Amino acid sequence: MLSRPKLMIPGPVDITSEVQEAMSIPSRPHYGPEWLSLYGEIQEMSKQLFGTRNELYVMAGPGTMALEAALGSALEPGAVVLVPSNGFFADRLVDLLEGLALQPWRVTAPLGEPVLPAAIAEALQAHPEVEALAVVHHETSTGVLNPLEGILDVARDHELLTIVDAVSSLGGVPLPVDEWGIDLCVSVANKALETPPGVALLSISARAAEAIKRREAKRGWYLDLKTWQWYAEEWGHWHPTPTTMPTSNINALHYSLQTLLEEGIEARYAQYRAAAHAVRAGLRALDCPMFAEDAYASPLATAFEMPEGIKPDLLRNYLRQKAGVLISVGIGALHGKILRVGHIGQARRRDYVVAFLLGMEDALSDQGLDIQRGSSLVALEGLLN
Ligand SMILES: *Cc1c(COP(=O)(O)O)cnc(C)c1O
């Protein structure tokens, strides 16, 4: 029916027309005084958002690329890295570590549950060889927000280098990088920063910067952060990054960050919470069980199960075709078991949330369930119009 559905997936997201316009400016040089001023402002705004005084790079590419750069540049081959493991993106970290000849070591929790600090503390007792911790903050595949602050406290007790995949959390939930002691923190433009895909952000603590400098061998060139350090230090007055940059994307990111900081980050957090609350309450009214319990549920994406006997893919296809709303299926082991709806981008708005919930009502009615029209619209307060 509708050729372009409302995106209610956990990224990429529907952006505002203003961000779209900022994206559509012609390409410009990625060097020289004008560029340096824009790049510098982005670094400053991002540092505010990350709550850090650390070095911060804007890299061209997806989040996975920046994670690969962080892990490969700061750790020597063979290093043992603890990975709290409770979903697809933790598995991705394990794959990255293996690909880099590092040694991942999992502490696992069931899908849909958080990995708790106590489990990590206990696991570490018998394993003094662990050098680093690589952890997903928001496990987007299950909608679980791992208790990062507590996990990082444990890491600090053991003096581990800490690498955080904040790809889908930064900008959507508090994440004070310096206060919590994150050495390398990775995020992207196209999730809670609500900008088109193509750009990753990476903050690097002084300790991590030293570790990177100390490594003798290089791992490739673009993905070795030594290269980025060199350009920042030696060419920073003219050409601060190693390569050509997607200047239009970065212009859009500048606009998006500016808007976010002007509107206030706390206000944005509240909008995500309102959207998640409306969706969770609405789905519960339709007898759809939540996959993650409220205490660990992220306000950025909600994973849910179906009423008895209903197939997730049927609902998802109905929503796409009849309601013009695109949500996500479960990935990996959760395919065919859950659906996921994102609250980031324009999906935090009332019209998106209402279109989704009414679409769900229609889809379930279509499956023969007795649903009263409007019965899922039970918690719409606080939603952005
Ligand atoms: C989306 C996502 C990624 C992957 O990001 P890419 O930009 O596609 O590489 C990694 N981790 C988490 C938690 C994500 O949500």
Q: Cα–Cα–Cα angle for 375, 376, 381, nearest 5°?
A: 115
Q: What is the pLDDT of residue 64?
A: 98
Is the per-residue pLDDT at 298 higher than 50? Answer: yes
* Per-position DSSP letters for 230-253, written without gaps between them: HHHHHSTTT--SSS---HHHHHHH
Q: Does the Cβ of 91 fall within 6 Å of ligand 1?
A: no
CATH number of 6-12+265-366: 3.90.1150.10
Distance from the alpha carbon of residue 170 to the mean position of ligand 1, in angstroms:
12
Whole-angstrom CA distances from 163 to 82, 108, 185, 203 are: 10, 17, 6, 10
Please state the rounded mean pLDDT for residues 287-291.
98
Q: Band of the pLDDT at 1, cuts 50, 70, 90?
A: very low
Q: What is the predicted pLDDT for the residue at 68?
A: 98
- The answer, yes or no, to whether any atom of ligand 1 lies below 6 A from the CB of 328, is no
Q: Is the pLDDT of residue 353 over 90?
A: yes
- Distance between Cα 378 and ligand 1 center (Å): 32
Strand partners, 319: none
Residues 132 and 182: beta-carbon distance below 8 Å: no
Class of CATH domain 17-261:
alpha beta
Residues 309-323 have pLDDT tens digits of 999 999 999 999 999
d(CA 240, CA 30): 8
Flag whether the pTM goes above 0.85.
Answer: yes
Domain ranges of the chain: 6-12+265-366, 17-261
**Number of other CB atoms surrounding residue 119 within 10 Å:** 16
Predicted confidence (pLDDT) at residue 2 exceeds the cutoff of 80? no
pLDDT for residue 126: 87
Q: How far is the CA of 187 from the centre of ligand 1 (A)?
A: 8
Per-residue tokens: 57:
């790079």
Determine the distance from the C-alpha atom of residue 242 to the mean position of all C-alpha atoms in its chain, rounded to a whole number: 25
Mean pLDDT of the chain: 97
What's the pLDDT tens digit per position in 147-197? 999 999 999 999 999 999 999 999 999 999 999 999 999 999 999 999 999
Query: Contact 89/134 with Cβ under 8 angstroms?
Result: no
Q: Same CATH fold, 17-261 and 6-12+265-366?
A: no
How many angstroms does the Cα of residue 168 sit away from the middle of ligand 1?
A: 7
Does the beta carbon of 301 lie inside 6 Å of ligand 1? no
CA of 88 to the centre of ligand 1 (A): 10
Q: Is the CB of 188 under 6 A from ligand 1?
A: yes
23: Cβ below 6 Å to ligand 1? no
Whether residue 273 has pLDDT greater than 70: yes
